Structure 1
Amino acid sequence: MATMEKAHTLEEKRAALIIKYRNFNVDSVEKEEDRLVYRLSRGDERYLMHILMDKKTIGIAFIRELRDQVEAGEVTGGIIVADGKYTYSARSNAPEMSIELVPKSLPAFDVFEHAYVPLHEVLTEEERQGVSEKFHAESYQFPWIRSTDPISIILGASPGDVLRVTHKSETAGKYLSYRYVV
């Protein structure tokens, strides 16, 4: 299982964060030539996560290879964690192939352990509707957080999602705020 203690490379540490905060279960880990392949599950969803080491450029050919594995394995989607650059065609075609590209700029440490980073959670559709009714506001009227923000990437939040942010304050106690992912 990928935990921060067992992770050796920066890519493995980033993958461990994603596995932890998206509540994935690690079904199996396979070591191939220059990559680790994780088979992940969460409820009925199945994912393939490729951790690429020593690969400087990731192109559309690799994205298509992973897409073929996703389609052949009856998997919901794929995740690529790499320290290299993604080509333009890889970045533009990956979303339509149900493949998420984790940028190398994602911190390799647990940002949620920092004193100034409050707890963030992705709301379910029911919770989201309840919050909208409570505040008499549409989701897009909440303060925004970008989908490229490290918090959004780690949690797997996509544009249109709403995050619940639980703050702790000495003077105000515990209070909630909400962020709309753009």
Structure 2
Amino acid sequence: MSEDQFPYKLYQINRTILQMLRDRKYIVSKEQLEMKFPEFREQNNDLSRTSLELLATKIDDPSIQILVFFPEDEKVSVEMIRSYVEKMKGESVARAILILQRSLSHYSKKFITKLAPEIIIETFFEFELLVNITEHQLVPKHEVLSEEESKVLLKRYRVKPTQLPRIKVTDPVARYLGLRRGQIVKITRPSETAGRYVCYRFVV
């Protein structure tokens, strides 16, 4: 990859991450979201992935934060993940996103799994973040219901959560939104007859 392609790729990935955090209801500034490539390149002229590391805070709960790590090395070792965990603990952060250039080893995956539920580390490959999948015209709008909204919905339709259609946590949009098992998501699709069609799915 040429020097010109490299920073533009990082620009695309960084933009998608910022949009993802915004859609998960974390604080992201308008300036960050609207930053153009020339400004991004000027701010990151060392072409470093690690310089893109960021910490974001939930809009409605300042005690909830998330860290985003951009490892410089293609191979992310267990030792490297341990260092990220130590940083998370130092910042009192329980959730992080790890942007990977290549697949994790079996031992690294196992280590991340063992950290849950106290420490949650989500992983995304760089190529998955070159575009924002939720902006695709074929992807309907997904909205996570709050606990109160979920209770009202279930009471209105007199159903149990498990009686709703399901969506897996491994679904691409579910991963983008950071959905957890047990949540309910509202999906709004365009309809030629009704204008829009709304359905609800239970996260499994």
Could you say whether these structures have the same fold, taking a TM-score greater than 0.5 normalized by the shorter chain as the test?
yes
Among 70, 76, 83, which residue is 2:94 paired with? 76
Please identify which structure carries the higher helix content: 2
Say yes or no: does 1:57 pair with 2:75. Answer: yes
User: What TM-score results when the alignment is normalised by the length of structure 2?
Assistant: 0.74
Q: CA deviation at 1:83?
A: 2.0
CA contact (8 A) 2:18 2:28 kept: no
Say yes or no: does 1:37 pair with 2:92. Answer: no
Give 2:23's aligned amino acid.
Y
CA RMSD between the two structures:
2.8
Which shows bigger deviation, 156-165 or 167-176? 167-176
Q: Secondary structure at the match of 2:200?
A: strand
CA contact (8 A) 1:11 1:108 kept: yes
Could you list the per-position Cα deviations for residues 72-100 of structure 1 after superposition, in whole angstroms to 9, with x for gaps in the alignment?
A: 11223222112221122322332425132
User: What TM-score results when the alignment is normalised by the length of structure 1?
Assistant: 0.82
Say yes or no: does 1:110 pair with 2:158. Answer: no
The CA distance in 2 between the partners of 1:89 and 1:11, in whole Å, is 26
1:22 — aligned with what? 24
Give 1:38's aligned amino acid.
L
Structure ID, larger Rg: 2
Q: Secondary structure at the match of 2:14?
A: helix
Identity of aligned residues (%): 23
Could you list the per-position Cα deviations for residues 13-49 of structure 1 after superposition, in whole angstroms to 9, with x for gaps in the alignment?
A: 4423422321222599998965231011113212211
1:159 — aligned with what? 181
2:36 — aligned with what? none
Say yes or no: does 1:132 pair with 2:154. Answer: yes
The CA distance in 2 between the partners of 1:99 and 1:125, in whole Å, is 21
CA contact (8 A) 2:112 2:121 kept: yes
Q: CA deviation at 1:132?
A: 1.2
